[in-house]
Amino acid sequence: MTRLKNDNFLRALKRQPVDRQPIWIMRQAGRYLPEYRETRAKAGSFLALCKTPELACEVTLQPLARFDLDAAIVFSDILTVPDAMGLELYFAENEGPRFMRSLKNEADIRQLSVPDPEVELRYVMDTIRLIQHELKGRLPLIGFAGSPWTVACYMLEGGSSKKQFDNIRRMAYENPPLLTHLLEILTQATIHYLNAQIQSGVDAVMLFDTWGGLLSPTQYEAFSLRYMQKITEACGTTPTIIFTKNAGLNLAGIAESGCSGVGVDWTMPLDLAKTITQGKVAIQGNLDPLALFAPEITLHHDIEQILKTMKNYPGFIFNLGHGILPNTPPEKVAYLVDTVHGC
Amino acid sequence: MTRLKNDNFLRALKRQPVDRQPIWIMRQAGRYLPEYRETRAKAGSFLALCKTPELACEVTLQPLARFDLDAAIVFSDILTVPDAMGLELYFAENEGPRFMRSLKNEADIRQLSVPDPEVELRYVMDTIRLIQHELKGRLPLIGFAGSPWTVACYMLEGGSSKKQFDNIRRMAYENPPLLTHLLEILTQATIHYLNAQIQSGVDAVMLFDTWGGLLSPTQYEAFSLRYMQKITEACGTTPTIIFTKNAGLNLAGIAESGCSGVGVDWTMPLDLAKTITQGKVAIQGNLDPLALFAPEITLHHDIEQILKTMKNYPGFIFNLGHGILPNTPPEKVAYLVDTVHGC
């Protein structure tokens, strides 16, 4: 870690003292930045951008040039893994992610196999190597993957869901062994994928469990947390963050899963998150992304509230409670970062 | 209440002793029933069905003919109120609700006025009168409305949201006085609407707050609970149920709002719901609607777990944790009702 000029993010994740309050922003390389929109136009599509290491590296670095952030995160998507498994990801205009081939029956699921990350996902590894070359040890780089449950949600639905991913939730009741088989394969794929990212140079990894909160607590443990725990264990000494949206009181189980830190969304007060996790993990969160549309005085108040609540907590990473929205004013992001750093 | 042959639902809601465990099912008059699909085809559209009292009465009674339920609920929709305010509701095929006119600017909001429920919503009152005539005091009848926050979510979005109702959530930060104005009008409209329903003969009312769980706890109190509390108070002695989906720990505030009962979704364990609400209210819930796709042995186990947890709790109403799904097998509903009644 001594190789990094600013390792505050990693130190917070390990619950060690920091020089200043670290902050990064989920989806910090994204559509709210005009320079991102330009690069994306050049790439032709979101997926082409993910799959072109030079351009993916370029957009990864863009927010770092604008804002004094404490971490970079690889520009990619949680659905690269099923794409690599042959489902063929694409993004229909204003429609969110879709697969050319979704999982329609048991045979579709049984024939899935674990992709080789250095072959089918080679473009992600090349992106990481490029970013590390450009970063030159300035900042830590975060790699990531979707949780097996969340990725399976999309695979069984064929893409985004208008409802609440009823296909997978139905399978959880109708055919739990088949769902377990799918989750096991995705767990193996994710372990290989994240370890390849670690080999390629990421300093920490994050699991995005966007849809774990759709489950009852019993099913959450059985179908989501269980597999994230296996992945966390398989990441060895690399620090890990688990972010389940709408985790609620499932945060207690997450904090005991062996991860280094937990992501907290804006519906969970941070004082409660502290109580529930009992000082076992670093905490990352949780400003409402919509707060960046408020007048500065309101935004300032909300930032201060979070900093006050987490003051002297060993291991706090400032972030939004969910990804930044496409139409967020970039100057509000600058204001946020500077306020958190106490400028 | 002596006029009712089976008043177990109302007694449970008032936390009085019952003869048997009452149960009803959110969206019990719905697409999972072939006879409903027939009547809806006759009506031409979902909205025409709502607006034709004879047919709305017919579908309200259909589940009661099949299943030994302990309450009827008026067949209607939470968006009848904005429709009556001139937004013109319609349902695009497989697209969910849409408005011909959504609220696009401050002027649109400022010109809204409170509709007269006996004029613009007369069809709902006629439906209630017809149902009561047909029910002949067999069972209690539940009236309902959407919460002001939830109805405003759709009004500002123009219908369902692909994201998470960013328009209204942005307004909550950008222009809270304007949002407050909208919520106040909706609160007045809902008070008039529910009181007209009570006058027309409903025995209890329920507020559906489908999207309150999108808010941080502070905003939930300010923009959702506050207005539901006003409505609850304005319903006088008529028992009220508040159901906020994904309420989480906001359940504590709901239990103190003066409502008679709280709805609980499947993500909240009932023992925790008991702890949080501290015996102040009746509790209604919370079988996962997807559990009705499980084999009987699994379904039986899940029902038993709920009954065991709520055994001897004064004021428990069995229900699903959310509306029943269109493709649910009706025979599983029969199995559920009979199991809850201990047949």
B243-268 pLDDT tens trace:
999 999 999 999 999 999 999 999 99
pLDDT reported for residue A141: 98
B-chain CB neighbours of A268 within 8 Å are 248
CA distance A189 to chain B (A): 28
How does pLDDT run across A303-337, given as a tens digit for each residue? 999 999 999 999 999 999 999 999 999 999 999 99
Q: For residue A286, is the peptide bond before it cis, meaning its omega torsion is within 30 degrees of 0?
A: yes
- pLDDT of B1 above 70: no
In order, the DSSP letters of B32-101 are: TSHHHHHHHHHHSSHHHHHH-HHHHHHHHHHHHHHS--S-EE----TTHHHIIIII-EEEETTTEEEESS
Q: Which DSSP category does A226 fall into?
A: H
**Cβ contact (<8 Å) for B290 and A325?**
no
- pLDDT of B27 above 60: yes
Q: How many CA atoms lie within 13 A of B152 on its CB side?
A: 29
A residues 206-235 near B, CB within 8 Å? Answer: 213-217, 219
Nearest CA in chain A to B168: A290
Mean pLDDT of B218-225: 98
- Write the CB contacts of A65 (distance below 8 Å, at least 6 apart in sequence): none
| Residue from B153, B172, B170 nearest B161 by CA | B153
- pLDDT of A6 above 70: yes
pLDDT reported for residue A155: 97
**Cβ contact (<8 Å) for B216 and A288?**
yes
Both tokens assigned to A34: 């005009």
Residues in chain B: 343
State how far the Cα of B39 lies from the Cα of B33, in Å rounded to an integer.
10
**B54 — pLDDT class (breaks 50, 70, 90):** very high
Q: Where are the domains of chain A?
A: 8-340
Strand order in the sheet with B141-146: B72-73, B141-146, B204-209, B240-244, B261-263, B282-287, B316-320
CB distance B240 to B260 below 8 Å: yes
- pLDDT of B304 above 70: yes
pLDDT reported for residue A19: 96
**Cβ contact (<8 Å) for B173 and A266?**
no
Report the percent of chain A where pLDDT is more than 70: 99
Angle between helices A53-66 and A330-340 (to 10 degrees): 60
What's the angle, vertex CA A293, arms to CA A287 and CA A296, rounded to 5? 85
Give the closest of A214, A272, A293 to B174, CB-based. A293
**Cβ contact (<8 Å) for B288 and A216?**
yes
Tell me the C-alpha to C-alpha distance, in Å, between residue B215 and each of A78, A301, B238, B272. 25, 17, 28, 21
pLDDT reported for residue A167: 94
The CATH number given to B8-340 is 3.20.20.210
CA distance B240 to chain A (A): 26
State how far the Cα of B144 lies from the Cα of B52, in Å rounded to an integer.
18
**A343 — pLDDT class (breaks 50, 70, 90):** confident
DSSP SS3 for B3: coil
State how far the Cα of A71 lies from the Cα of A207, in Å rounded to an integer.
16
Give the closest of A173, A174, A290 to B166, CB-based. A290
Radius of gyration from C-alpha coordinates of chain B: 19
Active-site entry in B15, B40, B98, B169: B40
- pLDDT of A192 above 90: yes
Residue carrying the six token digits 């072959």: A119
Mean pLDDT of A163-171: 92
Q: Provide the phi-psi class of B42: left if phi over 0, else alpha when psi is between -120 and 50, else beta.
A: alpha
**A50 — pLDDT class (breaks 50, 70, 90):** very high
Angle between helices A330-340 and A296-309 (to 10 degrees): 40
Nearest CA in chain B to A212: B267
Give the torsion sign (CA, B36, B37, B42, B46). positive
**Cβ contact (<8 Å) for A290 and B169?**
yes
CA distance A303 to chain B (A): 14
Whether residue A110 lies in the annotated active site: no
CB distance B281 to B249 below 8 Å: no
**Cβ contact (<8 Å) for A216 and B246?**
no
Q: Please tell me if residue B290 touches chain A, with a CB cutoff of 8 Å.
A: yes
DSSP SS3 for A287: strand
A-chain CB neighbours of B290 within 8 Å are 166, 169-170, 172-173
CB distance B342 to B21 below 8 Å: yes
**Cβ contact (<8 Å) for A217 and B325?**
no
- pLDDT of B271 above 80: yes
pLDDT reported for residue B237: 97
Whether residue B169 lies in the annotated active site: no
Strand order in the sheet with A141-146: A72-73, A141-146, A204-209, A240-244, A261-263, A282-287, A316-320
CA distance B272 to chain A (A): 10
Give the torsion sign (CA, A62, A68, A72, A76). negative
Whether residue B27 lies in the annotated active site: yes
How many CB atoms are located within 10 Å of the residue A333 CB?
21
State how far the Cα of B266 lies from the Cα of B321, in Å rounded to an integer.
5
B residues 237-276 near A, CB within 8 Å? Answer: 246, 248-249, 266-269, 272
CA distance B242 to chain A (A): 19
**Cβ contact (<8 Å) for B294 and A214?**
no
| Residue from B144, B128, B6 nearest B60 by CA | B128
pTM of the shown model: 0.96
ipTM of predicted complex: 0.93
**A45 — pLDDT class (breaks 50, 70, 90):** very high
How does pLDDT run across A233-245, given as a tens digit for each residue? 999 999 999 999 9
**A1 — pLDDT class (breaks 50, 70, 90):** very low
- Write the CB contacts of B341 (distance below 8 Å, at least 6 apart in sequence): B20, B21, B23, B68
Phi, psi dihedrals of residue A116, rounded to the nearest 5°: -85, 115
Mean pLDDT of A132-158: 97
State how far the Cα of A167 lies from the Cα of A179, in Å rounded to an integer.
11
How many CB atoms are located within 10 Å of the residue A107 CB?
8
- pLDDT of B194 above 80: yes
**Cβ contact (<8 Å) for A173 and B96?**
no
In the 3-class helix/strand/coil scheme, how is B213-248 assigned residue by residue?
HHCCHHHHHHHHHHHHHHHHHHCCCCCEEEEECCCH
State how far the Cα of B189 lies from the Cα of A237, in Å rounded to an integer.
58
| Residue from A89, A84, A103, A116 nearest A156 by CA | A103
Q: How far is CA A248 from the centre of its chain?
A: 18
How many CB atoms are located within 10 Å of the residue A3 CB?
9
What's the angle, vertex CA A289, arms to CA A335 and CA A193, rounded to 5? 105
Interface test with B, best of A160, A215, A293 (most B CBs within 10 A): A293
State how far the Cα of A207 lies from the Cα of A143, in Å rounded to an integer.
9
**Cβ contact (<8 Å) for B290 and A172?**
yes
Q: How far is CA B29 from the centre of its chain?
A: 12
- Write the CB contacts of B136 (distance below 8 Å, at least 6 apart in sequence): none
How does pLDDT run across B31-51, given as a tens digit for each residue? 999 999 999 999 999 999 999
Give the closest of A170, A291, A294 to B293, CB-based. A170
Q: How many CA atoms lie within 13 A of B176 on its CB side?
A: 10
**Cβ contact (<8 Å) for B290 and A214?**
no
pLDDT reported for residue A92: 81
| Residue from A19, A58, A20, A24 nearest A41 by CA | A58
Q: Which DSSP category does B159 fall into?
A: B
**A285 — pLDDT class (breaks 50, 70, 90):** very high
- In our burial notation (b when 16+ CB lie closer than 10 A, e otherwise), range B133-149 reads eebeeebbbbbbbbbbb
Q: Please tell me if residue A151 touches chain B, with a CB cutoff of 8 Å.
A: no
Q: Please tell me if residue A178 touches chain B, with a CB cutoff of 8 Å.
A: no
Nearest CA in chain A to B268: A216
pLDDT reported for residue B163: 77
How does pLDDT run across A101-128, given as a tens digit for each residue? 989 999 999 999 999 999 999 999 999 9
**B92 — pLDDT class (breaks 50, 70, 90):** confident
**B74 — pLDDT class (breaks 50, 70, 90):** very high
Interface test with B, best of A161, A162, A170, A221 (most B CBs within 10 A): A170
CA distance A159 to chain B (A): 13
Phi, psi dihedrals of residue A320, rounded to the nearest 5°: -80, 165
Give the closest of A173, A267, A269 to B290, CB-based. A173
Give the torsion sign (CA, A29, A30, A35, A38). positive
B-chain CB neighbours of A298 within 8 Å are 173
